[in-house]
Structures are given as structure tokens and as C-alpha cells.
Structure 1
Amino acid sequence: MKLIYKGKTKDVYSLDQHQVLLKFKDDVTGEDGVFDPGANTVGLTIDGAGKSGLKMTKFFFERLSELGIATHYISADLDEVSMVVKEAVPFGKGLEVICRYRAVGSFYRRYAAYCQEGDTLDGLVEITIKDDERGDPTISDDTLDMLGILSKPAYVQLKELTKKICDVIKAELAKKDLELYDIKLEFGLDKATGDLLLIDEISGGNMRVYKNGNYVAPMDLEKDFLGA
């Protein structure tokens, strides 16, 4: 295998037939030793975090596949803490799509003059560009189109697909009395076919989940949700 990219929480290796292998690490994003799914830097290392994230990711990708939703997922190896996926082409240098059901995190910090922390949001979709140097700024559909990153019709498709996926994830979590406050997804185009795919991971590391009003940390979430 050839190493393509060393990421914050995963390393990416090239395989044959437009496939890549993602090797999950125990590093998680955050600041000053505190986990934050929206942070741009590795904040801490938690033993077992990679395997925990992969277990959640495997569950959700397989559930979405059952519903006919296209993702890059092919297979997962929990012992090797790795996942084989279809090779995908990002939009621009990469976009992050956030779906929000509660006003928390950066949304609340930006709009605190207009809402209370924890206020209900109806699956609000925001898009940010992946740019650590500039703090992953939010970007509008007009700007995405003007800069040639994502056309307006593609934006509408992406937004609708995001809400569909996140509603599935929210409903699955609710079965265990867990409430999804927000989640960060990534999308790309299948390098072989050009189809729109959900990529990256779906784990406690890229979502905020609460139970009875209390925040559930990523590894506790995996244990609570999957009964590990």
C-alpha cells in the first residue's frame, strides 16, 4: 500500500481499482486537551478512539446502504482498525457539511444575539470549506457556485441528501434515547463513476449527542449506542 495522506484522525493508503484504505487513529480533534468535533487541530489522543469511531462508522454506513443511500463504504476490519472505501474526488479542496438540530457550538457563538443555547433548529444545513489556516469559514451557495466549487443544482442535491442522511442517523440514535444536536459530514464524487457519495466517517468524533440533557463523549456514545 502507498501512503497518500496523513490526516488528523486517519491515514489514507492507495489500493487497486479506485479503492483506498483508511487507517483510523486514536487522535481526536479539540483544543487544550478538550474534545471538539469542529476543531481544526488534534487536541488529544484517547486510547481506543480509532476503533470506537470505526465501529460507529461501520454501523451507520451499513444502515445507509440498506436504505439505498450511496456512500464510499466497501468493508471494515475492526481488528486492523481500517476501512476500505471507494476513491472519491472532493469538491474544491474539501467541504464539510454540518446539519444542526440544536443551537450549540460555533453556531451559537456566531448567532447568540438571536438565539438561546440549545434552541431547536430544523435540520439546518451549513457548509464550510476545509481550510485550517482560515478557520474553515462558512460559505454560501452563491459563493460556491461563483468560485466553481459546487454548482447551485449540485448544492440543492447535496443539501437534500444531507438532511435525509442526518434524519436517519438522528432516528437511529433516538432508539437509544440519544439526541443528535449536530453532525459534520463530507461528500465527494466517485472517481470511477462520478456519482455523489457520502465519504469520510460517521462517528462520535464528528457529532454532538446528548442524553437527558447531558453531553455524551464519543467513546461513551459508542458503548451506549452499540451496547459494547
Structure 2
Amino acid sequence: MARRKKIYEGKAKILYEGPEPGTLVQYFKDDATAFNAQKKDVVDGKGVLNNRLSEFFMTGLNNIGVPTHFIRRLNMREQLVRSCEIIPLEVVVRNFAAGSLSTRLGIEEGTPLPRPIVEYCYKDDKLGDPLVTEEHIAAFGWASQQDMDDILSLALRVNDFLSGVMMAVGIKLVDFKIEIGRVYEGDFQRLVVADEISPDSCRLWDIETGQKLDKDVFRRDLGNLTDAYTEVARRLGVMPKSAQPMSKPTLIN
């Protein structure tokens, strides 16, 4: 196999040059990180599960008219995506108080919020991805006002879709974060949901028991992360009901 050109490597994924102009290959790693990479580990099978789950969510969004960068899954760990210019923001949508919101505002974790709250964080690991306002975003030129209107609309549509999908399988969507990219088609620009949607980027709790089925399992040492992600995949039908937790999968190219 010819050696591929690496474009970017993050904490959980690697981007390679794609086979066609305007495409990239997104590779999902088994690396798990928390607290801005202060806590690290390798979790066998996590990348495979996140690849399949992100495929499921991105395909669902594409099908209801929410544009994403996802084109198709290539194999167990890779998917073909559109190349896009990532806006340097993490867009966080919260339905229940948890994590940093509970800490910042002193709201008990699990408290339902009066309406979905959308927050923005500046993407910079060295700074710890600080919370920013629309004033900061406009002042520093990270996105235009029209972009922000479109980002808010996209974020709330993703929230509606994910909340419904999760509720149908007995899972509460507590919060999630997405990234938004610009895709250029000649002189025309459009915004798309980029990066990934997976239990790495969502807080997912069992509706009946409150069991955490997301990366908080790793953050808080609550058990086996692969088991939690496998349970989400099972409920969504991404994996057979009889499937066992994935460990050291054999890659298929």
C-alpha cells in the first residue's frame, strides 16, 4: 500500500489526504483523553466503535437535510469526508446541567435546563478551549453574523435529531459538542457539521438508571469505556444485539 500523506493528527483522529480532490480520509484512533489530555490511555476498539457510530449519526443528519462532511465509511476505522475549513469553535449544546456548566453555575448535575443552551468555546488546546461569546467571535473574525445564525440553526437541528434518536432507545442526550466547517463550491460557501458525533463528544445517560454511556466513564473511572460505547451501538442497531465488546479488532482495508 502506498504511504499516505498525513494532513493532521489530533487526540482521537488522524486526517490523511483523500483519494479524490476535495476529500480526506478520517482515521479513528483508540486513544482516550480527558481533562485537556492530562489523562490518557489506549482503549482497544474505541476507534472502531466511534467510526461506526459517527457514520450512523452523520448519515442520519444527511438524510434529513442537515449537511455534514461525511461521504461514506471506508473500513472499520476510516471514513471518507469532504475537506473543509474548520471554524475554530466547539459548539456545545446542553439539555441538562452537567460537567463544566454544573461547576461554573453551581447547578446540580442532571437538572433539566429550561431550554437547550448553546455555548461556544475557542478551539485551542493550549488555552484549554476557553468559553467565548458571540462578541469575541465577531471581534476576532472567527465567523460572521450570518455564519453564527447558521451555526445556531445547525446546532439546534442536530440536537432535535440526536435527542429523538437517543430517547427512542432509552438514552438521555445530556449535552454534546460539534464542529462546523466551511465547504467551498466555486464562489459559494456553505456550512456543514464536521469532525465526529460519537460518545466521545456527547454525554449519554440511561433514562431509567442514569448509567453513563459516554466518555465520563473514562474521565471518572466508572468502568470499561468499550462496554459503554458497545451498549450505545447495540441499542442503536449499529451492532448486533448479541455482539460482544470489541477488543483488538482486526483491521480490514
**Aligned length in residues:** 216
TM-score (norm 2): 0.81
CA displacement, residues 46-68 of structure 1 (integer Å, 9 cap, x when unaligned)? 10000100111111111111111
Provide the rounded CA distance (Å) in 1 between the counterparts of 2:234 and 2:31: 18
The unaligned stretches of length 5 or more in structure 1 are 32-38
The unaligned stretches of length 5 or more in structure 2 are 214-227, 241-253
Give 1:210's aligned amino acid: W
% identical equivalent positions? 27
Provide the rounded CA distance (Å) in 2 between the counterparts of 1:116 and 1:185: 24
Q: 1:10: which partner in 2?
A: 13
Pick the aligned partner of 1:20 from 18, 24, 35.
Answer: 24
Give 1:100's aligned amino acid: R
Q: What's the offset of the Cα at 1:42?
A: 5.9
Provide the rounded CA distance (Å) in 2 between the counterparts of 1:177 and 1:157: 30
Q: 1:96: which partner in 2?
A: 90
SS at match of 1:183: strand
Q: What's the offset of the Cα at 1:41?
A: 5.2
Q: What's the offset of the Cα at 1:69?
A: 1.1
Counterparts of 1:143-154 in structure 2 under 5 Å?
A: 143-154=136-147
Aligned residues: CA RMSD: 1.5
Provide the rounded CA distance (Å) in 2 between the counterparts of 1:74 and 1:149: 26
**Is contact 1:5–1:11 with CA below 8 Å preserved after alignment?**
yes
Q: 2:49: which partner in 1?
A: 52
Q: 2:248: which partner in 1?
A: none
Give 1:118's aligned amino acid: G
Indicate whether 1:123 and 2:105 are aligned.
no
Counterparts of 1:9-88 in structure 2 under 5 Å?
A: 9-15=12-18, 16-31=20-35, 39-40=36-37, 43-79=40-76, 81-88=77-84
SS at match of 2:234: helix
**Is contact 1:72–1:88 with CA below 8 Å preserved after alignment?**
yes
CA displacement, residues 107-152 of structure 1 (integer Å, 9 cap, x when unaligned)? 111111xx22211122211010111111100110011001111122
Radius of gyration: which is bigger? 2
Q: 2:189: which partner in 1?
A: 194
**Is contact 2:31–2:43 with CA below 8 Å preserved after alignment?**
yes
SS at match of 2:212: strand
Pick the aligned partner of 2:149 from 144, 156, 178.
Answer: 156
